[in-house]
Structure 1
Amino acid sequence: MINGLVFTVGTLALALSPATVSTHIRLTEIPVLVVGLAAILAANALLLRSSLAPLDQLASSMGRVDPPRRSDRIDDRGTGDLRHLIASFNAMLDRLETERTSASGSALAAQEAERARIARELHDEIGQSLTVALLALKRAVDKAPTGLRGDLHHAQDAVRGSLDEVSGIARRLRPDVLEDLGLHSALNALCSEFTQATGVDVVKHLDAHLARLDPNIELVCYRVAQEALTNVARHAGADKVRVDLHATDEHLTLRIADDGKGGVVTAGAGITGMRERALLVDATLTIDSSSSEGTQIRLIVPVHVQSRPR
């Protein structure tokens, strides 16, 4: 249609204008032909460029597609076949994100179930065995000669330390405080444990009036904060961490920022896991990492969303 329109206009211009072309082209007619050809090509190029502009948006959107992130849809629907192509591309993105979210949800649900199973076994099996061993050592200390009591006390301390460590691992694997008391109390406990384990100060600004949320939203926020603090302990070399949690009628925002070395270039398994968890509740996860200002992780969750079952 575009090319037909251009050639129709060119034909009408040639027919209605005083310009003529002889059987043997004269030198005076050559500029007229050149100008006419240039006008036709320029008009054709401009019309095609404006008509095919949505293809540039489509190619740009294809280049930005990243599995762990939510991709933007193309608003410009184009015309004709382009409209069908863009609609098909948007529908493909919807299917891919739905399937990816479903697969990630199943994998993370299995992971949480396995965490809970391991935590129960640590508490019920290993924890009880260590408790029995601790009681047996206490009875042995009471009956042992004075010369052996020192060694038995050292053994008691070692078993007691192992019992505390097993209990700590079980709590990290299965945060009972999250299910019993909610996200605010769970983050408070997580920050306190982090400070005790690493010596890094945590400045907390947690919304004390935060109501109980969907269990999946609370779990995602807790796991993101847990992974972020773990990364701070392992890689940041920070002296201070800020943990902010506040909610509005529409969004819940969690922010973890440190004053460490930052400079995160590639996403490891921990960051990829955080992005996958964020997708489960339609949340937006952004990571800003400057070598001079540390790393900031921000999770924004729409609180009205119906999250996937865990």
Structure 2
Amino acid sequence: MPKHASPVRALFLRLVLINGTVFVVGTLALALSPVTISSPILLTEIPVLVIGLALILVATTVLLRRSLAPLDALQSVMERVDLLRSRDRLPEDDDHDLARLITTFNAMLDRLEEQRSVRSAEVLAGQEAERRRIARELHDEIGQSLTAALLSLKRVVDRAPAALQWDLRQVQDTVRGSLDDVRQVARRLRPDVLEDLGLASALAALAAEFTEAAGVPVLRTGDPVPAGLTPQTELVLFRITQESLTNVARHADAEKVTVSLAAGPRALILTVLDDGRGGPHVEGAGIRGMRERALLVDGELTVSSPPGGGTLVTLVVPL
């Protein structure tokens, strides 16, 4: 076949060649064999014709099946391909007529994954910028307004008659609680501790905050955070841990959570394991968002249910 022939034309020529070869071989076998066909056909000649036809059909089927086998593999990959999961490609064989089709399909998946990664990076960067803006407004505007309200309430409480003091202190406590809530939301939106103190301190603060809010203890194990991680890698690890803990609080009904960070020579492995209800997982926006973040650092995220129950989130980031 011509090296640069289109896949359709090459496949067409292959099918024509297969059928023509089988027909020629069958004709030569019939012409050179001692078998004779009478007219009308005798009953003793019918088995010979049936056997010959069966051999032709078997040969044609085997040859066509071998030629069209890559199409089955292509269909299988098309049915299971997911741009948020690990790379899935067809093996390329330069000797096959469908080699260009397979190469083109693999190249298409490469382009789609690259475009998806670029778009995800842009969207997530926009989200982080919006988080920082909202956190800054919460801290600088609403936080300062609530602080000013607390100071004013303190002056009012100091001058108020004794009959109103208890009610005013209740209002003061409510405003103080609202201020704490605003600061907590701002910290979740913009992890200042990650920028100031690094990933280890940020994960420790995140675990403490989760335990305080959800009442579920978090056990941190594993190796020290390796030096030299990029800010993007640290942010991805932090956000995936944060989202995993959020899912535990919402869905798991767990009594304990273990967060582990293992540093190997070639990869960094983050695991978040809870002892909750586990079971089949429906991938919603949260898990798909974690997969998109993992792709930003060429990582692979898996969500599974261990035999002992609960849910295990694993992120593998190559170093």
TM-score by shorter chain over 0.5: yes
Aligned residue-pair number = 303
User: Partner of 2:12 in structure 1?
Assistant: none
Alpha carbons 2:225, 2:261 under 8 Å: kept = no
User: Partner of 1:125 in structure 2?
Assistant: 141
- Secondary structure of 2:111's counterpart equals helix
User: Partner of 1:307 in structure 2?
Assistant: none
Residue 164 of structure 2 is aligned to residue 148 of structure 1? yes
User: Partner of 1:244 in structure 2?
Assistant: 260
Superposition pairs of residues 78-89 of structure 1, within 5 angstroms: 79-89=95-105
- 1:25–1:42 CA distance, 2 compared to 1 (3 A): same
Q: 1: distance between equivalents of 2:165 and 2:180?
A: 22
String of CA shifts for 1:32-81, please: whole Å, max 9, x gaps: 12111111110111111122111111000010022433440001437554
Alpha carbons 1:190, 1:226 under 8 Å: kept = yes
Of 262, 272, 277, 1:256 maps to 272
Q: 2: distance between equivalents of 1:181 and 1:29?
A: 92
String of CA shifts for 1:190-219, please: whole Å, max 9, x gaps: 111100111111111142252241111111
User: Partner of 2:9 in structure 1?
Assistant: none
- Unmatched segments (≥5 aa) in structure 1: 304-310
Of 150-159 and 29-38, deviating more is 150-159
Q: 1: distance between equivalents of 2:74 and 2:111?
A: 17
Q: 2: distance between equivalents of 1:171 and 1:104?
A: 24
Alpha carbons 1:243, 1:255 under 8 Å: kept = yes
String of CA shifts for 1:1-26, please: whole Å, max 9, x gaps: 22222223223322332222234333
- Secondary structure of 2:108's counterpart equals helix
Residue 66 of structure 2 is aligned to residue 50 of structure 1? yes
Residue 94 of structure 2 is aligned to residue 94 of structure 1? no
User: Partner of 2:84 in structure 1?
Assistant: 68
User: Partner of 1:201 in structure 2?
Assistant: 217
- Unmatched segments (≥5 aa) in structure 2: 1-16
Alpha carbons 1:183, 1:212 under 8 Å: kept = no
Q: 1: distance between equivalents of 2:235 and 2:21?
A: 61
Alpha carbons 2:298, 2:318 under 8 Å: kept = yes
User: Partner of 2:4 in structure 1?
Assistant: none
> Moved runs in structure 1, 4+ residues, more than 3 A?
76-81, 289-292
String of CA shifts for 1:234-281, please: whole Å, max 9, x gaps: 111111111111111211111111111122442111112111111222
- Secondary structure of 1:28's counterpart equals helix
| TM-align CA RMSD | 1.9
Residue 219 of structure 2 is aligned to residue 213 of structure 1? no
- Secondary structure of 2:314's counterpart equals strand
User: Partner of 1:279 in structure 2?
Assistant: 295
Alpha carbons 1:262, 1:292 under 8 Å: kept = no
Q: 2: distance between equivalents of 1:203 and 1:223?
A: 18
Q: 2: distance between equivalents of 1:63 and 1:100?
A: 18
String of CA shifts for 1:112-163, please: whole Å, max 9, x gaps: 1000000000111111111111222222233333333322322222222111
User: Partner of 1:308 in structure 2?
Assistant: none
Q: 2: distance between equivalents of 1:209 and 1:104?
A: 26
Q: 2: distance between equivalents of 1:300 and 1:209?
A: 14
Of 108-117 and 157-166, deviating more is 157-166
Alpha carbons 1:182, 1:212 under 8 Å: kept = no
Of 17, 20, 41, 2:57 maps to 41
